[in-house]
Structure 1
């Protein structure tokens, strides 16, 4: 990993135990966790301050179904790559709000590590690798390479 910069990651998850577990896995995977939020307001504050490379965002948070709004803003304003974490994949909006894809809960450490490696390749090399197992790739990433950047 010496040839790529640390991946700056934000966690947006309202289950504190799960957020802490994610932070441990991400740190162990060589990521710099720049903040954890439980709702839209907290996510926007961290996003504004830290400009993360990657955000793992639960779809349904303490303040409701705000995950897609958070994803859209992070992607549009900061170019942050977003991965949804959700127990209800049907709640992901069409087009994935610019997110790279989604992981269904419950998930394991190996899945998170694979998703981080996938996101790292996309962020730093602008290429789309093989989607990890248990990772639902966003429809916009299945388009021809010239259309990879979200609009």
Structure 2
């Protein structure tokens, strides 16, 4: 699923994802249409811009996509400083502008996480979410 308010960029992403073997289940430009598509399609992965037609709703969309739909989320943004500290559960972020090779690598990374729940090599130009880089705490049994 693509959540992007720049129509030309959304179409380009749809083409790149299709060429990479992904089934794009929908493109949304705001929070309401993102949730409508997610309710209907239950996507495995969502590429989400931080700033959309209805404001800085990308982090809210990401949080709901992860919590309610179990989707993996990757932020696409020209403003990485606006990503919340905890990344709203997203795997990471790609800064705009980006190229086809980066998107393909990020999708491959996300697929590995979706199917294995493992974190592989971080693609170039991909900012990994802090929650994926922090090792689990070792808690001694009582």
Whether the TM-score (by the shorter chain) exceeds 0.5 is: yes
1:42 partnered with 2:33: yes
Pairing of 1:1-151 with structure 2 (within 5 A) = 10-144=1-135
The alignment partner of 1:55 has SS state of strand
For structure 1, the 5+ residue unaligned runs are: 1-9, 147-151
The alignment partner of 2:124 has SS state of coil
1:47 CA displacement:
0.7
Please list the CA deviations of residues 65-118 of structure 1 after superposition, one character each: whole Å capped at 9, or x if unmatched: 000000000000011000000000000001000000000000000000000000
Alignment RMSD, CA only? 1.3
Q: How many residues align?
A: 138
Q: Could you tell me the TM-score, scaled by structure 1's length?
A: 0.89
Question: Larger Cα Rg: Structure 1 or Structure 2?
Answer: 2
For structure 2, the 5+ residue unaligned runs are: 138-142
1:144 CA displacement:
2.3
Q: Give the Cα separation in 2 of the matches to 1:47 and 1:144.
A: 31
